[in-house]
Structure 1
């Protein structure tokens, strides 16, 4: 049986693998987008089904999106923004400001 390691050591090992940083960043973006959509949907008092109907999506697709399970396209974000009575704004920020 192998030596036990702390989560910090295990995470460092995983993050040292090629592509791990990019995968982590993509997951962070998906999670943050999903969290923002859910917060706005709840603010408007909409169910996932109602949001899906407004955006032309099925309820399971909305649930996956809110859970960070899918990386949306710009057209998908535009549809969600309109359904949430918002305007999509995409911008590039210097890395020192983008955290």
Structure 2
């Protein structure tokens, strides 16, 4: 058995525990939101400082958010969306279609 198979089995076993699954999902959400904001900011040629100013934040808060270090509130996501020239959309997606 390869190391990858061992790791996959270990991860799957760990994620079988409800607490671990919840933590994993929270981390995934933070990471995906942070990545989306960073990618849009970079598309616009903005610095973290410029985004922070436009959203009424401080640069370290943007850096933490983009790295997946914080779980944002909906009002914060709305402020970031507006600062990035976007509209926030919140939707539910069936688990069998989720990535």
Q: Same fold (TM over 0.5)?
A: yes
Q: What do residues 11-34 of structure 1 show as CA deviations (whole Å, max 9, x unaligned)?
A: 344323341001101111110110
More helix by share: 2
TM-score by length of 1: 0.86
Q: What residue is the counterpart of 1:29 in the other structure?
A: 29
Q: What residue is the counterpart of 1:70 in the other structure?
A: 70
Number of aligned residue pairs: give it.
94
Instruction: Give unmatched runs, 5+ long, in structure 1.
Output: 1-5
TM-score by length of 2: 0.86
Residue 90, structure 1, aligned to residue 90, structure 2: yes
Q: What residue is the counterpart of 2:3 in the other structure?
A: none
RMSD: 1.4
**Dislocated runs of 4+, deviation >6 Å:** none
Instruction: Give unmatched runs, 5+ long, in structure 2.
Output: 1-5
How far does residue 95 in structure 1 lie from its aligned partner after superposition? 1.6
